[in-house]
Amino acid sequence: MEKVNLISGMRSTGRLHLGHYMGVITNWVKLQDEYNCFYFVADWHALTTKYDNTQNLRQDKLDVVLDWLACGIDPDKSVIYFQSKVLQIAELHILLSMITPNNWAERDPTLKDMVKILKNKENDTSDNMPQMTYGLLGYPILMSADIMALNAAIVPVGIDQLAHLEITRDIARRFNNIYKTDLFNEPKPKLTEIPLLLGVDGQKMGKSFNNDIKISDDEETTSKRIMQCVTDRTRARKDDPGHPEQCEVAFKYYQAFANEETVQQVECECRAGKRGCADCKRQLGKIINEKFAPIREKREEYKKDTDKVYDIINEGSKKAALEAEKVMKKVRDAVNI
Ligand code: TRP
Ligand code: SF4
């Protein structure tokens, strides 16, 4: 049986953190054998909020791909590309924008959250949405174009993206109805089971919260950051019995990155008051550094040979465009344009 198309993208946020690694990338790596995977950097989407701050955009896009390659996204198995190199997506975006009622985008709760975050950044407390642009309003329609241009059936995303994907399904259905065709799949989300990794301070991990550990951070930076991890706050002295289940970050990281045996040992010693938190985190730093050493090494190699990386991206972009062109031929026929 032919494999179906699977698509997922990330905005070009620059170097990725351990939350991306656990929550998204390991999952993408696994999916490579089961599906025709298309993984892309959503650089147009980055512009929906950062149109006036593009100095680092090119470096950020490259950094994302370097992290993917280092973590095992394999260009021989998956198509890796930049969204802005596949012009068919822009063409489809225009056609979809014609048939999408304004209020479908306006009531997208994820988009509302994005606007709130933008407002907070600019300390704007007014009720109108001064920084809401035409492009940002079109965020879910552009995302629909990404997915539908490849007529992908499966979209691995986090819960935060489900509202966007619901709009994609509505748009696909509406297109099929209006143009009396069965051209488009209604793409299905594929939720990751891996729980999200928190930042070292116990809040959501994110670049802007300054609580993240990057995949490509060096050993020293990583160890220092790990020492900042929140532990069992009820514990005053190191021979007090601890509660791993209340150790909000450090023990969770052990569960994510250490082997079963180590996790059990840590748990026992912690409960028995035989393990101090500082020592515990020192060991955790070592474990994480060991785990990421080969990944960081591989990343360094790619970084030394960016020509090769751009070749991979250009090659992938061509493949994606070819696939999208097949779909667009049918779309143009359906619309009679
Ligand atoms: N909106 C997604 C995010 O912020 C990125 C994205 C853009 C995407 N287009 C997509 C994800 C298409 C899946 C499919 O994470
Ligand atoms: Fe957490 Fe380790 Fe401290 Fe126990 S000893 S509370 S597991 S950091």
Q: What pLDDT score was predicted for residue 171?
A: 98
188 with 265, same domain: the answer is no
Dist CA 312 CA 166 (whole Å)? 32
Assess whether 249 and 329 both reside in one domain. Answer: no
Range of the domain at 282: 217-299
Pair (77, 179) in one structural domain:
yes
Contact criterion met (CB below 8 Å) for 186 and 173: yes
Q: Angle CA(124)–CA(130)–CA(132) in degrees, nearest 5?
A: 115
Give domain status of residue 210, yes or no: no
| Backbone φ and ψ of 99, nearest 5° | -105, 0
- Domain co-membership, 67 together with 190: yes
Residue 26 in domain: yes
State the Cα angle at 59 between 53 and 61, rounded to 5°: 90
Give, for ligand 2, the residue of 277, 279, 283 to mutate: max count of ligand atoms closer than 8 Å to Cβ.
Answer: 277
Q: Is 211 inside any structural domain?
A: no
The pLDDT value given to residue 319: 98
Q: Where are the beta strands (DSSP E) in the chain?
A: 5-11, 36-42, 79-82, 154-157, 188-191
CATH number of the domain residue 229 falls in:
1.10.240.10
Q: Same structural domain for residues 291 and 188?
A: no
Asked if residue 206 belongs to a domain, the reply is no
* Whole-number percent of the chain with pLDDT over 70: 95
Number of independent structural domains in the chain: 2
Q: What is the pLDDT of residues 42-96, one digit of tens each?
A: 999 999 988 999 999 999 999 999 999 999 999 999 999 999 999 999 999 999 9
Residue 204 included in any domain: no
* Same-domain status, 78 and 130: yes
Tell me: do 45 and 101 sit in the same domain: yes
No. of helices (H) and no. of strands (E), the chain: 15, 5
Query: For the chain, which ranges sit under pLDDT 50?
Result: 129
Site to substitute for ligand 2 among 238, 280, 284, most atoms within 8 A of C-beta: 280
Ligand nearest to the CA of 275: 2
Q: Does the beta carbon of 140 lie inside 6 Å of ligand 1?
A: no
In a domain, 209, yes or no: no
**Same-domain check for residues 82 and 186:** yes
pLDDT per position as a tens digit, 105-120:
998 988 888 877 777 6
Residue 104 near residue 113 (C-beta atoms within 8 A): no
The pLDDT of residue 239 is 87
Give the pLDDT confidence score for residue 124 in this predicted structure. 54
Say if 107 falls within a structural domain.
yes
Asked if residue 137 and residue 16 are part of one domain, the reply reads yes
Q: What is the DSSP string of 71-87?
A: HT--TTTSEEEEGGG-H
Q: In whole angstroms, give the CA distance from residue 259 to residue 238.
A: 24
The pLDDT value given to residue 33: 95
Q: Which residue's alpha carbon is at the smallest distance from atom 5 of ligand 2?
A: 277
Q: Can you give the pLDDT at residue 112?
A: 84
- Do 171 and 319 share a structural domain? yes
The conformation of residue 184, written as its DSSP 8-state character, comes to: -
Query: Is 18 a member of any domain?
Result: yes
67 and 95 assigned to the same domain: yes
Q: Which ligand is nearest to the CA of 161?
A: 1
8 Å CB contact between 213 and 15: no
The CATH number covering residue 25 comes to 3.40.50.620
* Domain identity same for 42 and 191: yes
